Homo-oligomer: A and B are copies of this chain.
Amino acid sequence: MDAIARLLRPDSVAVIGASADPTKMTGRPVGYLQKHGFAGAIYPVNPRAASIGELPCYPDVAALPEAPDVGLVLVGPERAEQAVRDLAARGTAAAIVLASGYGEASPDGARRQQALREAAGPMRLLGPNTIGLVNLTDGIMLSATGALEVGELPPGRISLVSQSGGILGSLLSRAADRGIGFAKLVSTGNEGDLDSADLVEHLVEDDATAVIAVYMEGLRRPDAFRRAAQRAAACGKPIVVFKVGRSESGARAASSHTGALAGADRMYDAFFRQLGVIRAETFADLLDIPGALACGRRAAGRRVAVLTSTGGAGTLVADACGLAGFEVPPPDAATVARLAALQEGGQAAADRNPVDVTLAGLQPTLFRTAIDALLDSPGYDALVTIVGSSALAQPDLVADAVVECQARSDKPVLAYVSPHAPHIVRLLNQRGIPAFAAPEACATVLEALQHRPAPDVAESADSRAVPEVALPDLPAGPLNEAESKALFARFGVPVTRESVAADAASAQAAAEALGGRVVLKVLSRRIAHKSDVGGVKVGVPAADIPAACATMLENLRRAGAPEPEGFLVQELVRGSAEVILGFHRDPQLGPAVLLGMGGVAAELFRDTAMRLLPLGRADAEAMLRELKSWPLLDGFRGAPRCDVAALVDAILAFAAMAEALGDRLVEAEINPVFVMPEGQGVRAVDGLAVLA
């Protein structure tokens, strides 16, 4: 067993600083261990107590009868380091340090945290600034969270990794009320050693865990998290992440809370999407989505039946589903016939969805028949049943019917509970029917139930090869336009035909060789925006080149721009559309490619898509379709379709360049890439690169 396995399922636990006073925070953990039935050895360590309850107390770690699997360190920061050192010396597998006042507090605290890490040596460390962990699979509580005061904590198939201990407690108590069970909950706190990626990696292999929920303030080792997520995708085990720090205020708060670095939130979006990780949008989603995924069912499509005995709530749910892009279609003819047979009173129409069974709702047999009819119908992929106030008195009648009918189908069945009725929500969840008090949650969860492990997660990891291109001794610093485009071209990005000319005469010769009108530019690694200083002229006939060169040099002088290296004479091309390809290095998540539609309006609408490296073909294709102005590439209003395949190749070539150059690439942008009609390719028209 590795250290994390022993941390989560120890045979023996030393509780350093345990208090005999159960009202104190330090008095709780021993009691929690006992109350929830920990079967292993518990060793309280406290020089000022002889015993805690019936357990003998040890004056120090050295006095323990054996090396414990886990040391739960409750003492303050001034004594924690020594405790950790002592535990490591005894050969303890892992220590949990609850104290705060480390990296989250001050630079002094950060130094203390480093010292703590060093004191641990080969021993693994959870925390500091953690609330510990809760293993409900095996009934092992290594935590001081007040949520453990709750009477009954149902074990379940969701495991949680949370950087915040308070959030762990909040989710645990909220889930208990909802009848949602957890397998393991681990608060990683400041992540002085063990971090979210370590825990996710471990939980992917945990048989008791079917879904992994993560509360994230920042990610310390994105590569390790990526590997764990890829493994989870391969196992078909969904990961659901709620990440704070989406706003500047939140990022600042997160960083001062556990010392987590923020990184750009849009990058996290890209990161999660590429890994097939589901991102929870609201805090409630972090329970709702895993709770629904843990039922094990997935929806095969987007057609939802809504069965209600109370019209208003049915409308609410239908509207929420419709807003989220689901269909709520009327039943097919065979289903209408089955439903119509139910409505003896003949009041409600059977050809509508929501299916309103105001009468049947009070008669369990009719209710069952209606559920069966809807689940049997080939026209629906999922069912939402509405629980109205008629169920308040006898919730079991409803629950029995739904549970029984669900068993005869493999489609997901959800419940929306309209009145305030936590006992019904709890009952349904406990019996495997995801139940919600918010209509919008039904739609959110239906979306998550469409989720399949992303196929491109594997592809972007494995099947993509970085081309072997011999890189000459490229100089450090900015390349000029010709050098930049030569670099892009070497990796397979098509660029305009062009020649570098030292003077006006050779520029004219180059223009004659290209034929027709050309684009003339000054060539300079020191001028970032050539147009702004009058250094670009489009559509110049060869005959006019000398005069144009002279004017340009004069323009540069007037603008106080540096002397150029020469001129660039370029073929004149016209694209059907313009895009921008950029490279960005996120301080947290690493290198990324950014794609944007060109033009002023697209900039105003922030119409861009980004993906982290490595980039697979499916990623590049998805980026294009993500653009709101994608129709402009796809043959908008009868215009010819653009050469999308060539553009995808160019994006992949640009990404491959970024990977091959690694840390040497500081900056790169192609602006614009002209995209021609289908079959005619793309052309990088201008661009720059900066190397380290």
Q: Which residues of A contact B (CB under 8 A)?
A: 100-101, 104-106, 145-147, 149, 162-167, 169-170, 173-174, 176-177, 215, 217, 244-254, 256-258, 282-284, 306, 310-316, 318-323, 326-328, 347-349, 352-354, 356, 358, 388-390, 392, 418-422, 437-440, 597, 599-602, 604-605, 607, 628-629, 631-632, 636-637
Report how far A283 CA is from B146 CA in the complex, Å: 31
- Provide the residues of chain B in CB contact with A311, threshold 8 Å: 104, 164, 166, 257-258
A282 with B438, Cβ < 8 A, contacts A311-B257, A322-B247, A601-B605 known: yes
The residue on B at minimum CB distance from A321 is B249
Of all A-B residue pairs in the complex, the 4 with the closest CB atoms, nearest first, are: A250-B319, A247-B322, A164-B312, A249-B322
Q: In the bound complex, do residue B312 and residue A167 qualify as a contact, i.e. CB atoms below 8 Å apart?
A: yes
| Contact indicator B253/A167 (Cβ below 8 Å) | no
User: Could you give 24 example pairs across A and B, Cβ below 8 Å?
Assistant: A101-B347, A104-B311, A105-B349, A145-B389, A146-B390, A147-B389, A164-B312, A165-B312, A166-B311, A170-B419, A217-B315, A244-B315, A249-B321, A249-B328, A250-B315, A252-B352, A256-B352, A257-B356, A422-B422, A599-B601, A601-B605, A604-B632, A604-B636, A605-B605
Chain B contacts for A252, CB-based, 8 A: 318, 328, 352
A316 to B253, CA, bound (A): 9
User: Of B169, B322, B604, which is within 8 A of A248 by CB?
Assistant: B322
Please state if A318 and B149 are interface contacts (CB–CB under 8 Å): no
Contact present for B418 and A319 (CB under 8 Å): no
Q: Judge whether B174 and A420 touch: CB under 8 Å.
A: yes
Residue from A164, A256, A629 whose CB has the most chain B CB atoms within 10 Å: A256
Tell me whether A313 and B170 are in contact in the complex, defined as CB-CB below 8 angstroms, given that A322-B246, A602-B601, A628-B604 are known contacts.
yes
Q: Which residues of chain B are within 8 angstroms of A636 by Cβ–Cβ distance?
A: 600, 604
Contact A419 B173 (CB under 8 A): yes
Is the CB–CB distance between A418 and B600 below 8 Å? Answer: no
Distance between Cα atoms of A440 and B282 in the complex (Å): 7
Listed residue (A164, A170, A215) with the most chain B CB atoms within 10 angstroms of its CB: A170
Partner of A169, one of B249, B258, B419: B419
Chain B residues whose CB sits within 8 angstroms of the CB of A628 once the complex forms: 604-605
With a cutoff of 8 Å between Cβ atoms, the chain B residues found around residue A313 in the complex are 164, 166-167, 170
| Assembled-state Cα–Cα distance A104/B149 (Å) | 50
Q: Chain B residue with minimal CB distance to A306?
A: B253
Chain B contacts for A173, CB-based, 8 A: 389, 419-421
Known A-B contacts A253-B315, A419-B169, A419-B170; A283 and B322 likewise in contact (beta carbons under 8 Å): no
Complex interface: chain B residues within 8 A of A315 (CB): 164, 217, 244-245, 250, 253-254, 257
A353 to chain B, nearest CB (A): 8
Q: What is the CB-to-nearest-CB distance from A219 to chain B, in angstroms, rounded to a whole number?
A: 15
CB–CB A283/B169 < 8 A = no
Closest residue of B by beta carbon distance from A129: B311
**A319 and B389: CB pair below 8 A?**
no
Taken together as a complex, chains A and B put the C-alpha atoms of A30 and B147 apart, in Å, by 44
Chain B residue numbers with a CB within 8 Å of A602 are 601
Q: A105-B349, A250-B322 are in contact. List 9 more A-B contacts (CB 8 A).
A: A166-B313, A170-B313, A170-B420, A177-B420, A252-B328, A254-B315, A600-B632, A600-B636, A604-B629
A146 with B392, Cβ < 8 A, contacts A101-B347, A349-B256 known: yes
Q: Which of B253, B258, B440, B597 contacts A354 (CB 8 A)?
A: B253
Query: In the assembled complex, which residues on chain B have CB atoms less than 8 Å from the CB atom of A604?
Result: 628-629, 631-632, 636
A679 to B392, alpha carbons, bound, how many Å?
A: 68
With A and B bound together, what is the CA distance between A629 and B600 in angstroms? 9
- Measured between alpha carbons, how far is A597 from B440 in the docked complex, in Å? 33
Query: Contact at A312–B601, with CB atoms within 8 Å?
Result: no
Identify which of B100, B217, B246 contacts A358 (C-beta below 8 A): B100
Residue of B nearest to A101 (CB): B347
Cα-based distance from A253 to B319 in the complex (angstroms): 8
Q: Report chain B residues within 8 Å CB of A322.
A: 246-250
A283 to B313, CA, bound (A): 10
Given A173-B419, A176-B420, A600-B632, decide whether A149 and B250 contact each other with a Cβ distance below 8 A: no
Q: Decide: A318 near B388, CB < 8 A? Known: A105-B348, A170-B313, A418-B170.
A: no
Q: Given A167-B316, A389-B146, A600-B632, are A283 and B439 neighbors across the interface (CB < 8 Å)? A: yes
Residues of B within 8 A of A637 (CB): 600
B312 near A247: Cβ-Cβ < 8 Å:
no
What's the minimum C-beta distance from A107 to chain B, rounded to whole angstroms?
Answer: 11
Bound-state CA distance A391–B87 (Å) is 34
Q: Which B residues are CB-close (under 8 A) to A358? A: 100
Question: In the complex, what's the smallest C-beta–C-beta distance from A685 to chain B, in angstroms?
Answer: 20
Which single member of B249, B321, B388 contacts A166 (CB below 8 Å)?
A: B388
Contact between chains at B328 and A253 (CB < 8 Å): yes
Residue of B at shortest CB range from A328? B249
Q: A174-B420, A358-B100 are in contact. Are A323 and B166 (CB under 8 A)?
A: no
Q: Which residues of chain B come closer than 8 Å to A318, judged between CB atoms?
A: 247, 249-250, 252-253
Measured between C-beta atoms, what is the minimum distance from A357 to chain B in Å? 13
Chain B residues within an 8 Å CB radius of A349: 105-106, 256
CA distance A631 to B605 in the complex (A): 11
User: Bound complex: CA of A602 vs CA of B597, how far in Å?
Assistant: 13
A390–B170 CA distance with the chains assembled, in angstroms: 12
Compute how far the CA of A257 lies from the CA of B322 in the bound complex, rounded to whole angstroms. Answer: 16
Residues of B within 8 A of A437 (CB): 174
Distance, CA A101 to CA B217, complexed state (A)? 54
Shortest CB-to-CB span from A19 to chain B, Å, is 16
Which residues on the B side are within 8 Å of A353 (C-beta)?
A: 249, 253
CB-CB under 8 A from A419, the residues of chain B are 146-147, 169-170, 173-174
Residue among A165, A440, A605 with the most chain B CB within 10 A? Answer: A605
CA A440 to CA B628, docked complex, whole Å: 27
A166 touches B418 (CB 8 A): yes
Give Cα A169–Cα B437 distance, bound, in whole angstroms.
Answer: 14
A174, A215, A420, A632 — most chain B CB neighbours (10 Å): A420
Smallest beta-carbon distance A462→chain B, Å: 35
- In the assembled complex, which residues on chain B have CB atoms less than 8 Å from the CB atom of A250? 315, 318-320, 322-323
Docked pose: A437 CA to B420 CA in angstroms: 15
A244, B319: Cβ atoms closer than 8 Å: yes
Tell me how far the C-beta of A372 lies from the nearest C-beta in chain B, rounded to whole angstroms.
22
Cβ of A170: which chain B residues have Cβ within 8 Å of it? 312-313, 389, 418-420
Query: In whole angstroms, what is the CA distance A302 to B132 when docked?
Result: 37
